[in-house]
Each structure stands twice: as structure tokens, then as C-alpha cells.
């Protein structure tokens, strides 16, 4: 079987990719620190438990992106003639399912805690010889772990847009929304401090709803991707690339009619171009013209199969 051609990012986007990779490594490092920190102080708080699970799940998107970044250099071969792009989408599917299921689990757990009217007990911790209410420690950890993630989220949106990378964008948005987790957790613990025993479980429920929502939104996107839906921009609008490819090919003098069918694979477009030609003389040169015209539309247009039919009469 003939393996498909490999894909290279345009030169000007290589530094953007590098920056994105560095940001994702920084994210992974910070999440590792946060996961340990939150685990150490979470105690019996529902809100802290929900925040911890959300932190654990935050490993998924950066890992998927970094693995994809590695695989993009791997050429399609005999075993995988279409290349390795899909493996990343599948990893992201697994991650979205995990987000949805675990979010639901924590939500149910928080609601059960509320219904059972369980009062969370939070005592003191000694820090440097001083006795401090552990709630203050939990609030400090939530705040300190939240701020860098929100900053990283903002920083990743730019590269995501330039690279048209939906995984990176999804990750950036989830990080940016972490302010809600930190705020809900802090309010929950302050609530316990005031004597509102229900505040913590309520905060846990709020956080888990946000996690579920992230899971469902990403699940829908990934499923549509795997079903080869029509190409969309990074903001979810219908992409104009298929139409523009059609118009570019129609501009060729020997072309009578054109139809295009494109799908997205990671950041590239692949698909079929159906051409009705006035004459099929010198076909290989004509096919090359079609390919060049299509690729000139957008850097992401990659592997095209061109079908030519000669117009009769």
C-alpha cells in the first residue's frame, strides 16, 4: 500500500509550536506540584477533593498535545499508511470520558454528603511552631495553585489560535476557567469557617458541575472530529477553506466544474476534489496545478485525492 505523504508545519509557525510546547511542559510541572500540595492539605473537605480530581484530570490535555507534537514528525508507513494523527484524537476522547465520568461521580458524592448533612471537621495544623486553622492553609493552597494555571491558560490561547490546534485551545480554556474552582473552593472553606457546614459540599458540587461540563463539551467536539464532520474554525464557526479551495480550482481555465469534500485530521485538511474537465490532455500537469491551487488557499491543506472526469460534448 502506498503510505500518505508526511506533513510539515510552515517555517514561521515552528517558533509558535516551540512556545506552545514549553507552556504545556510548564503546565504539567505546575499540575504535578499542585496535585501533591492539594492532596496533603485536603483533609475531609468535599471542595478540596473535587479540586484535586480536577487537577489530576488536567494532566490529560497537555499530555495529549505533547505526544501529538512528537508524533507529527513521524511519517506514515506500511503499518499506518494514513499516519498517526488519529491516535491523539483518541487519547483526547479517553480524557473527555474520564472528565465526564469523574465529574459526575464527585457531583453525586457531594450531593450525598449534603443530603446526609455531614459536617466537615477541620482542626489546626502547626506551621513553623505556630498553630493555624487548617482552613487557612487550604485557602492558601487553592489560591496559589489557581493563579499560575489561569495565567498559563491565557498564554496558551494565542498559540492555539495561530496553530489552529483544538486540543491546545481546549486545554487553555479549561486552565483559564480554574479561577472558578479556586473561588468556589475558597468560598466553601470560608463557609465552613463561618459555621455553614453545607458550604463545602455545595462548593464541591459547583466544581464538579464545571468538570462535567468541560468533559461533555470536549466529548462532543472529539466525537464530531472522529466522525469526520465538516471543517470548523477554532471558534466553532464553519470553515471557509472548502469553499475557497473549490473557487481556486474553478479558476483554472480547463476546469468546467468542481466539487470538494474535506475533513480535518489534527491541524490538517485532507479529502477529495472532484473535477469535471473540458479536456484531459496532459493530465499529470493538470493534477499538479489543482494540487498547487488547493494548497495555496491555506497552509493546512494537505493530502488530496483528485478525481477527474472529462466533460462530453
Partner 1 sequence: MRPHRHPLLCLGMLAAAGCGLPFDPRDTLERVHEGTLRVGAVESPPYLTRSGGAASGPEADLVLAIARAFGARVEWRWASHDHHLEALARFDLDLVAAGLTVDSPWNGRVGLTRAWHHEPGRDLVLAVPPGENAFLVAVERVILSRHAAASSR
Q: In the complex, what is the shortest distance from the CB of residue 197 to partner 1, in angstroms, rounded to a whole number?
A: 5
Do 138 and 125 meet the contact criterion of CB atoms below 8 Å apart?
Answer: no
Q: Minimum distance from CB of 9 to partner 1 (Å)?
A: 34
Smallest gap from Cβ 154 to partner 1, in A, equals: 11
112 binds partner 1 (CB under 8 A): no
Residue choice 51, 69, 106, 182 for contact with partner 1 (CB under 8 A)? 182
What residues form DSSP beta bridges with 310? 277
Site for partner 1 in 15-44 (CB under 8 A): 44
Burial annotation 153-162 (CB, 10 A radius, 16+ → b, else e): bebbbebbbb
CB 262 within 8 A of CB 241: yes
Looking at the Cβ atoms of 95 and 204, the one nearer to partner 1 is 204
Q: Which is nearer to partner 1, 154 or 230 (CB)?
A: 154
Q: What is the widest separation between alpha-carbon atoms in the chain? A: 95
Non-local (6+) Cβ contacts of 275 within 8 A are: 249, 255, 257, 258, 290, 306, 307, 308, 309
Mapped onto helix, strand or coil, the DSSP state of residue 125 is strand
Residue 122 binding partner 1, by CB under 8 A: yes
Question: What minimum distance in Å lies between the beta carbon of 249 and partner 1?
Answer: 50
- Mention every residue, 6+ apart, whose C-beta is less than 8 A from residue 109: 46, 49, 204, 208
Cβ nearer to partner 1, comparing 130 with 284: 130
Rule CB under 8 A: choose which of 39, 87, 118, 213 binds partner 1: 118
Of 140-169, binders to partner 1 (CB under 8 A) are: 143, 146-147, 150
Please identify which residue in 194, 235, 236, 253 interacts with partner 1, judged by CB under 8 A.
Answer: 194
Q: How far is CA 276 from the centre of its chain?
A: 39
Residue 135 as a binder of partner 1 (CB under 8 A): the answer is yes
Q: Which is nearer to partner 1, 58 or 167 (CB)?
A: 58
3-state DSSP assignment of residue 29: helix
Instruction: Tell me which residues touch partner 1 (CB under 8 A).
Output: 44, 118-124, 126, 131, 133, 135-136, 139, 143, 146-147, 150, 179, 182-183, 190, 192-197
Amino acid at each position: 500500500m502506498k503510505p500518505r505523504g508526511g506533513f510539515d508545519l510552515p517555517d514561521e509557525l515552528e517558533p509558535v509550536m516551540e512556545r506552545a510546547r514549553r507552556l504545556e511542559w510548564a503546565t504539567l510541572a505546575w499540575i504535578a506540584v499542585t496535585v501533591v500540595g492539594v492532596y496533603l492539605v485536603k483533609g475531609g473537605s468535599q471542595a478540596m477533593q473535587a479540586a484535586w480530581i480536577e487537577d489530576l484530570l488536567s494532566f490529560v490535555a497537555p499530555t495529549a498535545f505533547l505526544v501529538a507534537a512528537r508524533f507529527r514528525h513521524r511519517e506514515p508507513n506500511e503499518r499506518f499508511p494514513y499516519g498517526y494523527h488519529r491516535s491523539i484524537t483518541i487519547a483526547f476522547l479517553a480524557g473527555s470520558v474520564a472528565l465526564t465520568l469523574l465529574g459526575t461521580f464527585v457531583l453525586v458524592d457531594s450531593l450525598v454528603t449534603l443530603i446526609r448533612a455531614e459536617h466537615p471537621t477541620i482542626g489546626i495544623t502547626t506551621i513553623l511552631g505556630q498553630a493555624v486553622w487548617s482552613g487557612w492553609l487550604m485557602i492558601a493552597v487553592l489560591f496559589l495553585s489557581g493563579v499560575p494555571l489561569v495565567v498559563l491558560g491565557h498564554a496558551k490561547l494565542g498559540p492555539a489560535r495561530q496553530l489552529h490546534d483544538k486540543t491546545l485551545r481546549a486545554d487553555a480554556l479549561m486552565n483559564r476557567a480554574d479561577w472558578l474552582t479556586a473561588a468556589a473552593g475558597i468560598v466553601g472553606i470560608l463557609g465552613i469557617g463561618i459555621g455553614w457546614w453545607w458550604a463545602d459540599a455545595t462548593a464541591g458540587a459547583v466544581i464538579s458541575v464545571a468538570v462535567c461540563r468541560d468533559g461533555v463539551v470536549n466529548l462532543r467536539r472529539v466525537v464530531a472530529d472522529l466522525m469526520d464532520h465538516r471543517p470548523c474554525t477554532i471558534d466553532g464557526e464553519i470553515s471557509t477553506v472548502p469553499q475557497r479551495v473549490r473557487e481556486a480550482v474553478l479558476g483554472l481555465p480547463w476546469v468546467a466544474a468542481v466539487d470538494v469534500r474535506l475533513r480535518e485530521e489534527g491541524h490538517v485538511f485532507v479529502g477529495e476534489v472532484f473535477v469535471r474537465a473540458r479536456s484531459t490532455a496532459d493530465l499529470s500537469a493538470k493534477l499538479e496545478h489543482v494540487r498547487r491551487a488547493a494548497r495555496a488557499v491555506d497552509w493546512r491543506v494537505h493530502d488530496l485525492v483528485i478525481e477527474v472526469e472529462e466533460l462530453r460534448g
